[in-house]
Amino acid sequence: MTRTYIKNAGEKIGEEILINGWVDVRRDQGKMVFFDFRDMTGAVQGVVLPGSDAMETAKEAREEFVISVRGKVNERPEKNKQKGKLNGDIELEILSLDILNPAVTPPFNTRGDTREINEDVRLKYRYLDLRSPRMQKNMRGRDAVISFFRKHMHENGFVEIETPIMMKGTPEGSREYVVPSRLHKGQFYVLPQSPQQFKQLLMVSGFEKYFQIARCMRDEDQRGDRQPEFTQLDYEMSFVNREDVLLYTEDMFIKLVKTLYPGKKISETPFPRLTYEESIKKYGTDKPDLRKDKNNGDELAFAWIVDFPMFEKTGNDEIQAAHHPFCAVKPEDRKKFMEGKDIFSIRADSYDLVLNGYELSSGSIRIHDRSEQKQVFELLGISEEEQIKKFGHLLEAFTYGAPPHGGFAPGIDRIVMILENEPNIREVIAFPKTGEGRDLMAGAPSEISEKQLKELGISINTKK
Ligand code: ASP
């Protein structure tokens, strides 16, 4: 007999069906045993009647056992119908019940809202936590958001291209995770902070519209809501100006909300725009929460913040790129920039999208001219030799017909977090790390064997 998914059981009244899944609830009433069974599509009630062949296994089965059930779909008597609930008007008369795999009692109740459980315990048993209805909903919500983006990108002529995970660094303001090379002892790959350089190089290659659901890794001191790895909808377009990127992005977000979260209300369209300077002056932050009611999770106050400074001072008085060194400067500030004058007043042709007080993304129009890119590196105090060593490929690529281009990279974890009304991004990531960057389930990071270290030519001299 072929399997029937539980959500379709109601279409088979009077028929015998086979379902596979888990015991969700079991109520033993002595002569009769009641069950709720669940699979990925929903739940259904079943009953083992007195004298049934299934009684023996029904007595053995416990919650979370994996089962295969053959049963007859009966309509419930009118008074027992639960209106508006999936399978609320049917019941499965269980004819046989096979236990495919028993289960020990889980360390916490996965049938309720697990946010009340200690998070370390949830993370240690994440695969069980993910059974809970809220986490199932979050993961499916995330899938829907990613599918929406992918479809929207394709419909607009973007091509999805994977870029390397093992690469040479892109400086984007964070420390990089380092991967030792066994074949080239003493040499290292790094993990991408973002596909920034690759997506720009793909513009030189003539793809014109690229996107990727990109995993990014940043070795930052963990605070609050950060994760060492996170996901961006990364995209880049050729022959565009800032207005083109903003309008494309804005339209996509409005459609996303309308399609997947129609219960939510966008406060203002077109999204309000503020310069960085205005935002700081008016709200004291570059990610203002513009909701009328700051506690209303169903209100979505998107805003654009534009014209960020191109350069900023670090704590030790050095100059760094405020976003990254590949941003173009605003045409009005180009003269100052090329002359290297008054550099902290130079504005980048950049933009951030903020939502309810969170930064969803930064982006910019990029430099596509070799001498401008060199000028940024020079102002950042990067020597000619370093420039060639670190960015020679990019500088060279710009001499082979690089089109004007710009892009953006909204953070998917944050978007889903806000849309699913969750308080932090761990709730919308299947297997997140703790605030200290640990995987409590498998135990990463962990030491590696002496043999591996030797093969890699690495010796450890500081142990915590
Ligand atoms: N690569 C940038 C980031 O990760 C985004 C962009 O400029 O497109 O912030």
Q: What is the DSSP string of 188-199?
A: EEE--S-SHHHH
Read off the tokens for 26. Answer: 């079991």
- With b meaning 16 or more CB within 10 Å and e meaning fewer, what string describes 171-188? bbeeebbeebeeeeeeee
Q: Is 45 in the pocket of ligand 1 (CB under 6 A)?
A: no
- Cα(58)–Cα(72) distance, integer angstroms: 16
- With b meaning 16 or more CB within 10 Å and e meaning fewer, what string describes 387-405? beebbeebbebbeeebebb
Spatial contact of 173 and 320, defined as CB atoms under 8 Å apart? yes
Q: Is 356 in the pocket of ligand 1 (CB under 6 A)?
A: no
pLDDT of residue 170: 66
- Would you put residue 174 in left (φ > 0), alpha (ψ -120 to 50) or beta? beta
Rg of the Cα atoms in the chain: 28
Read off the tokens for 276. Answer: 């960085």
Residue 48 backbone phi and psi in degrees, to 5: -100, 120
Residue-level length of the chain:
464
Q: Is the dihedral of CA 141, 146, 147, 149 positive or negative?
A: positive
pLDDT of residue 316: 83
Burial environment of residue 224 by CB neighbours within 10 A (0 to 12, 13 to 18, 19 or more): exposed
Atom number in ligand 1 closest to CA 196: 1
pLDDT of residue 174: 83
Query: 362 alpha carbon to ligand 1 midpoint, in Å?
Result: 6
Cα–Cα–Cα angle for 159, 165, 169, rounded to 5 degrees: 110
Query: 326 alpha carbon to ligand 1 midpoint, in Å?
Result: 10
Cα separations in angstroms, 231 against 106, 238, 387, 402, 425: 30, 23, 29, 27, 11
Query: 140 alpha carbon to ligand 1 midpoint, in Å?
Result: 26
Q: Is 364 in the pocket of ligand 1 (CB under 6 A)?
A: yes
Burial environment of residue 318 by CB neighbours within 10 A (0 to 12, 13 to 18, 19 or more): exposed
Read off the tokens for 442. Answer: 């498998």
pLDDT of residue 226: 85
Spatial contact of 425 and 225, defined as CB atoms under 8 Å apart? yes
Three-class secondary structure of residue 263 per DSSP: coil
Q: Is 325 in the pocket of ligand 1 (CB under 6 A)?
A: no
Q: Is 194 in the pocket of ligand 1 (CB under 6 A)?
A: yes
- Cα(287)–Cα(358) distance, integer angstroms: 6
The pairing of beta strand 265-266 with beta strand 299-300: parallel
- Cα(427)–Cα(136) distance, integer angstroms: 10
Using alpha carbons, select from 430, 171, 122, 203 the residue that is nearest to residue 323.
Answer: 171
Spatial contact of 195 and 393, defined as CB atoms under 8 Å apart? no
How far does CA 369 lie from the centroid of its chain? Answer: 33
- Cα(129)–Cα(3) distance, integer angstroms: 26
Please count the other Cβ atoms lying within 10 Å of the Cβ belonging to residue 457. 13
Query: For atom 4 of ligand 1, which residue has the closest CA?
Result: 194
- Please provide the distance, in angstroms rounded to a whole number, between the alpha carbons at the two ends of the chain: 58
Spatial contact of 35 and 77, defined as CB atoms under 8 Å apart? no
Query: For atom 6 of ligand 1, which residue has the closest CA?
Result: 363
Using alpha carbons, select from 12, 13, 15, 17 the residue that is nearest to residue 1.
Answer: 17
pLDDT tens, residue order, the chain (464 aa): 999 999 999 999 999 999 999 999 999 999 999 999 999 999 999 999 999 999 999 999 999 999 999 999 999 999 999 999 999 999 999 999 999 999 999 999 999 999 999 999 999 999 999 999 999 999 999 999 999 999 999 999 999 999 999 998 766 678 999 999 999 999 999 999 999 999 999 999 999 999 999 999 999 886 767 899 999 999 999 999 999 999 999 999 999 999 999 999 999 999 999 999 999 999 999 999 999 999 999 999 999 999 999 999 988 888 999 999 999 999 999 999 999 999 999 999 999 999 999 999 999 999 999 999 999 999 999 999 999 999 999 999 999 999 999 999 999 999 999 999 999 999 999 999 998 899 999 999 999 999 999 999 999 987 65
**pTM summary value:** 0.95
Query: 409 alpha carbon to ligand 1 midpoint, in Å?
Result: 5
Spatial contact of 59 and 65, defined as CB atoms under 8 Å apart? no
Query: 179 alpha carbon to ligand 1 midpoint, in Å?
Result: 22
pLDDT of residue 314: 85
pLDDT of residue 463: 60
- Report which residue type is found at 216: C
Spatial contact of 436 and 220, defined as CB atoms under 8 Å apart? no
